[in-house]
Amino acid sequence: MDSRTILATNIKYYRFKYNLSQEKLAEICNCSLVYINQVENEDRNVSIDILDKLKDGLNNEFNLNLTSSDLLKYDESHITNYSRIDEKK
């Protein structure tokens, strides 16, 4: 699994875990919705600055203690079938 896939999987995992839409994650991390979508779809190379924004946004919103490298670590437990939390209910 390459870094882009691992990052996408981990971002989806945290969104699912905290019931966040892509839009809300973008707001929390001060990124655009399109950018978050591209990261999750592995269509975008992520800079260190964006990796830090993602980490800081999740840490601040949910009182986590993630490091940037945590978002790039492979964790088999993060691989699951995600429900469509982006759909309006």
**Domain of 47?**
3-68
- Split into its structural domains, the chain has a count of 1
Q: Does the residue 8 lie in any domain?
A: yes
Q: Does the residue 86 lie in any domain?
A: no
Q: What is the pLDDT of residues 35-48, one digit of tens each?
A: 999 999 999 999 99
Q: Does the residue 52 lie in any domain?
A: yes
What pLDDT does residue 88 have? 47
Mean pLDDT estimate for the chain: 89
3-state secondary structure the chain: CCHHHHHHHHHHHHHHHCCCCHHHHHHHHCCCHHHHHHHHCCCCCCCHHHHHHHHHHHHHHHCCCCCHHHHHCCCHHHCCCCCCCCCCC
Instruction: For residue 47, give the CATH number of its domain.
Output: 1.10.260.40
Q: What is the pLDDT of residues 37-76, one digit of tens each?
A: 999 999 999 999 999 999 999 999 999 999 999 999 998 8
What pLDDT does residue 77 have? 85
